[in-house]
Amino acid sequence: MSLLKVTDLVVSYGGIEALKGISFEVDQGKIVTLIGANGAGKSTTLRTISGLVPAKSGRIYYEGRDITDFGTQKIVETGIAMVPEGRRVFANLTVLENLRIGAYLRKDKELIEEDINYVYDLFPRLKERSWQLAGTLSGGEQQMLAVGRAIMTRPKIIMMDEPSLGLAPLVVKDIFMIIQTLKSTGMTVLLIEQNANAALHACDYAYVMETGRITMSGTGEELLASEAIQEAYLGKTSKG
């Protein structure tokens, strides 16, 4: 059974349909990516799953449970964490405080300390800077912190919105290393990317979105081999 299942999801912003009925599944322990151009509805999909935007119709199931009408708070509690676009760390709080905010809804005090150490083991850089204000971190470090903060909610699935946006190519490489690390710990990742090349190489399964619809899907290799994808997203011409 898939961990997360979205069926016929429709979302509209004041009459304009951003999602026109999309369906997809995310299996346990896999990296699944949604790729597509600006305005395809990728971010809207994530925001709807995490309850920040209401769905007009269609259902979202998590572990077989219908979570479509849960509030954000309850959705976070059930185990869906989000790493928002642009990282959005709390700039005037320290690294440690940021991590503690991630655990805000948790009541298991002892395990929180354990998880903080777990995040520090995963990202030693954060440990070095645990007292530094998050706003003073570099872009890559902030991304680590955003992921760490998401881990602190004890999720079963982490949704990442454009993690490579605005970062230098070398840092982007680091980001995808982070995603692989997450996978190796058994985490499920739903990844949204404009950087189709990197995302397709990293993922187990991918969906292609265009103006609110899913137009294609397949494993990373299948899509990388597809001519339509190469033309539209990877910048190769059919002649070349």
Partner 1 sequence: MKKRGNRRLIISLAVVALIYVAGFIVEQTCGSKSMAVTVLQKGAVYALIAVSMNLLNGFTGLFSLGQAGFMLIGAYSYAILTIPMAKRAAVYQYYDGGIVQFTIGMIPALLVAGIVAALFAALIGMPVLRLKGDYLAIATLGFAEIIRAFIQWDAIGPLTNGSNLLKTYPTLKTAMPGNTVLFTFIVVGICIGLILLLINSTYGRAFKAIRDDEIAAEAMGINLFHHKQMAFVISCFFAGIGGALLAMYQGTLQANGFKSAMTYEILLIVVIGGLGSVSGSIIASFLFIACSEWWLRFLDTETMIGDFKVPLLAPGFRMVAFSVVIMVVVLFFRKGIMGDRELWDLGSRRKAKGGSDIK
Smallest distance from partner 1 to CB 44, Å: 14
Q: Is 6 helix (H, G, I), strand (E, B) or coil?
A: strand
CA-based R_g, the chain, Å: 18
Determine the interface stretch with partner 1 among 26-34, 36-44, 67-75, 221-229 (rule: CB under 8 A): 67-75
Q: Could you say whether residue 104 binds partner 1 (CB under 8 A)?
A: yes
Q: Could you say whether residue 224 binds partner 1 (CB under 8 A)?
A: no
60, two tokens: 């979202």
Conformation bin of residue 56: beta by default, left when phi > 0, alpha when psi is -120 to 50? alpha
Determine the interface stretch with partner 1 among 3-11, 19-27, 81-89, 199-207 (rule: CB under 8 A): 81-89
Q: Report which DSSP code applies to 138.
A: -
Among 23, 37, 59, 96, which residue interacts with partner 1 (rule: CB under 8 A)? Answer: 96
Q: Could you say whether residue 116 binds partner 1 (CB under 8 A)?
A: yes
Distance (Å, whole) CA 197 – CA 216: 16
Distance (Å, whole) CA 202 – CA 223: 12
Q: Could you say whether residue 156 binds partner 1 (CB under 8 A)?
A: no
Determine the interface stretch with partner 1 among 10-18, 65-73, 166-174, 222-230 (rule: CB under 8 A): 65-73
Smallest distance from partner 1 to CB 116, Å: 7
240, two tokens: 């070349």
